[in-house]
Amino acid sequence: MEIPTEVPIYFEDLAIGDSFVSEEVTVDNEEMLAYNLRNAPWPFHVDEASAAQSPYGSLIASGGYTITLMYRLGHKIYNTPGRRWAVLGALDWHLKFAAPVRSGDRVQLRITIKSKRQSSRPERGHFDLLYELLNQKEKSSVVLSVLMAGLIARRPPL
């Protein structure tokens, strides 16, 4: 039996404009409420009667939970069987919560390479990624956008 090898995705393998889209996931009500109760127990996140009177009209996911969904879906883009991006970390985030996320929404993540440049350190490169969490229930509207500056390993010399 042959063991599959993992192919790393390096700085050189990515081009400005490349876009990657995750699978779709449905926002689970119990998971969302549990997260909100533990981490962001504002009435519009945890109490249906209060949320109904809020500008949102119903319970919404907290920002932290929405970011958790983004992370979960991003992991599925970066780490697929046989392929793993050589990401070294994130340096800077600029984020916008464009629309609320609710129980039952179907979301997916799109990551686009916005820019890239070589680092002063030859073993790594810089890139700017645009994360867009899309709500498929609302006809692919962006509910969260994050412009992230990060580092990724460069292909080792042969």
Over residues 87-144, the pLDDT tens digits come to 999 999 999 999 999 999 999 999 999 999 999 999 999 999 999 999 987 677 999 9
> Which positions ≥6 away from 50 have C-beta within 8 Å?
43, 44
Query: According to the model, what pLDDT value does residue 87 have?
Result: 95
Do residues 11 and 127 make contact, with C-beta atoms less than 8 angstroms apart? yes
> What share of the chain in percent tops pLDDT 90?
89
Instruction: Give the pair of three-digit tokens for residue 155.
Output: 């292909």
pLDDT digits 0-9 by tens, 19-54: 999 999 999 999 999 999 999 999 999 999 999 999
> Which positions ≥6 away from 60 have C-beta within 8 Å?
44, 45, 51, 100, 101, 102
| The total number of residues written for the chain in this structure | 158
CATH of domain 7-27+61-153: 3.10.129.10
Neighbour tally for 60: CB within 10 Å: 24
Which class for 144: exposed (0-12), middle (13-18), buried (19 or more C-beta within 10 A)?
A: buried
Instruction: Give the pair of three-digit tokens for residue 23.
Output: 């699978």
